[in-house]
Amino acid sequence: MIVAIVPAAGYSRRMGRPKLLLPWMGRSILEHVVEALRVSGIARVLVVVGPHVPELIPLAQTAGADVHALKEPTADMRATIERGFDWIEANMSIAPSAWLLAPADQPLVEARVVQRLMASFREQPAFSIFLPTYRGQRGHPVLLAWRHAAGIRRWKHDEGINRYIRHHAAECCEVPVVSKNVLADLDTPEDYQRLLAGTGQDSS
């Protein structure tokens, strides 16, 4: 079983408003991301929601995700992900074989990319971390064997998941994809307008 963890506990400071509530393809960005993950065949999607954005809870649930509503804010994405590990271990009777780190601020996430990562996980057991690449550049989402949950918990407290992945370079498998969307990110109003324009949407 492969699960997706969607960290949704950030403060969207550069955006100036909760970015996961922004409209995208007729619904919120969060709903769009959850739907793309579910369509890919991921067994379960867990959205970890910060206490400052309770509006995200019904959106995630309606989209078909499990929700872990945090009572206290987290310091960074790594801490949010670790709270997701806690929820999975407490609420799932069988440990997943792998988990997908799926940042919610990537509205262009595609089911076919997630499916390619899952296929690579099944077909290449010599590796345990799978990263999509477009023309040699690494993107998101990233698929990791479940044992890395314990590894991340033990990792240096002042370093994030990206550093953890780089430290485990020998276990990484780069998975080339044809979509540059794996590189797309959403942090600022300018990013939002650019991504909207690229899909023929407007912000009205």
Classify residue 132 by burial, with Cβ atoms within 10 Å: 0-12, 13-18, 19+. Answer: buried
Domains of the chain: 2-198 (3.90.550.10)
Q: With H, G, I as helix, E, B as strand and everything else as coil, classify residue 142.
A: strand
- Does the pLDDT value for residue 190 go beyond 80? yes
pLDDT tens-place string over residues 19-54: 889 888 889 999 999 999 999 999 999 999 999 999
pLDDT tens-place string over residues 148-166: 999 999 999 889 999 999 9
pLDDT tens-place string over residues 95-113: 999 999 998 888 889 999 9
Any bridge partners for residue 68, and if so which? 48
Long-range contacts (CB closer than 8 Å, 24 or more residues apart) made by 123-130: 124/173, 127/171, 127/172, 127/173, 128/168, 128/171, 129/165, 129/168, 129/171, 129/172, 129/173, 130/172, 130/173, 130/175
